[in-house]
Amino acid sequence: MYYRRKILLALLEQYINKLIENDVKVLCDVRRNPISMKFGFSKHQLIKACNGVGIEYKHIPEVGIDLSSPIKKL
């Protein structure tokens, strides 16, 4: 478990570093439910990680995909 958590923390660090490299100022999370099975990628963990490097976190679920309506095939 410790090893897995260490790997997932490294993934979060890589993600945050990519945001920094691309001069991202605001991270907009459009997931309806901002929970993740991946350690570090749930709302409160992302807020903490983003705030630590000066990136603003915004949860805007209304912009995401509405899973309550049927998906239309093209």
Q: What is the reported pLDDT for 57?
A: 98
In angstroms, the CA 61 to CA 74 distance is 24
Tokens encoding 65: 């995909």
Residue spans of the domains in the chain: they are 2-63
Query: Could you report the average pLDDT of every consecutive run of 10 residues in the chain (74 residues)?
Result: 68 94 97 88 96 97 80 69
Distance of alpha carbon 63 from alpha carbon 72, whole angstroms: 18
pTM above 0.95, yes or no: no
